[in-house]
Amino acid sequence: QKEVEQNSGPLSVPEGAIASLNCTYSDRGSQSFFWYRQYSGKSPELIMFIYSNGDKEDGRFTAQLNKASQYVSLLIRDSQPSDSATYLCAVSPLYGNKLVFGAGTILRVKS
Amino acid sequence: EAQVTQNPRYLITVTGKKLTVTCSQNMNHEYMSWYRQDPGLGLRQIYYSMNVEVTDKGDVPEGYKVSRKEKRNFPLILESPSPNQTSLYFCASSPDLALSYNEQFFGPGTRLTVL
């Protein structure tokens, strides 16, 4: 079992729709959870992080965390073609000074 | 401008020819790390450094070396590159040891091809 799992996609949504990206993790003691966006040929950039159960909103983005289910998601409201990218879920485990990344989900927003 | 820089950005080399990829950050960050990114595998950590002269192995350290003689620099050394080290490499840095709550800032990446 991979430590951090994501559906590779591609996930295709029409412009203006809500895109829902999901991530599960295996280390129950994980503390912090990050969503990075990576455009093709570019480096990852942080969108949001969350460390408490529940929802965290920032503009069009909402991160949701459920530690009991070991599940974290990212919702993108009013999706735009510029949101088309690979979204990487990253988890900070209880032990170890590192982030563990999922393989990423490709999102395509069609205008 | 606060940034992480890597050089070279692109490199094609041959098996066995030693190479170094440099990484430098100007944000006075304590923590630095190297990742490789391969299709379907995501970002995997090679080595990391918590501070000057303190380095440790990540998940895929075989075939790589690092050093941290200065706070701002964290070069990645491939003593004898092999084709399975063909990949996209990213250097990243983070403000302090409390990594859990700190963003990692990534360099632009180095695309390495080993023939």
Q: Are strands A11-14 and A105-110 parallel, antiparallel or unpaired?
A: parallel
CB-based contact, A98 to chain B, within 8 Å: yes
Owner of token pair 């050394």: B77
CB-based contact, A48 to chain B, within 8 Å: no
CB contact under 8 A, B100 and A102: no
CA–CA separation, B49 vs B44, rounded Å? 15
Of residues B103 and A81, more confidently modeled: A81
CA distance B8 to chain A (A): 15
Q: How many helices (H) and strands (E) does chain A have?
A: 0, 11
A38-74: pLDDT as tens digits: 999 899 999 999 989 999 999 999 999 999 999 999 9
Residue A59 tokens, joined: 């503009």
CB contact under 8 A, B100 and A43: no
CA distance A21 to chain B (A): 16
Owner of token pair 């990391």: B48
Q: H or E stretch including B84?
A: none
The shortest CB-CB distance from A43 to any of B44, B56, B90 is to B90
b/e for A2-29, b at 16 or more Cβ within 10 A? eebbbeeeebebeeeeebebbbbbebee
CA–CA separation, A48 vs A77, rounded Å? 14
CB contact under 8 A, B56 and A97: yes
What's the mean per-residue pLDDT of chain B? 93
Q: Is the pLDDT of residue A14 over 80?
A: yes
Which of A:75-94 have CB within 8 Å of B? Answer: 88, 90, 92
Per-residue confidence (pLDDT) for residue B9, from 0 to 100 = 97
Q: Does A10 sit behind a cis peptide bond, omega within 30 degrees of 0 on the bond before it?
A: yes
B13-37: pLDDT as tens digits: 999 999 999 999 999 999 999 999 9
Q: Is the pLDDT of residue B65 over 60?
A: yes
Per-residue confidence (pLDDT) for residue B101, from 0 to 100 = 64
Least confident of A85-99, B81-95, B101-115: A85-99
CB contact under 8 A, A104 and B97: no
Residue A22 tokens, joined: 């999901």
Per-residue confidence (pLDDT) for residue A43, from 0 to 100 = 95
**First-residue to last-residue Cα distance in chain B:** 36
Q: Is the pLDDT of residue B47 over 70?
A: yes
Owner of token pair 């393989």: A103
CB contact under 8 A, A98 and B48: yes
The shortest CB-CB distance from A32 to any of B41, B56, B101 is to B101
Owner of token pair 């170094």: B20
Q: Is the pLDDT of residue B71 over 70?
A: yes
The shortest CB-CB distance from A97 to any of B99, B101, B106 is to B99
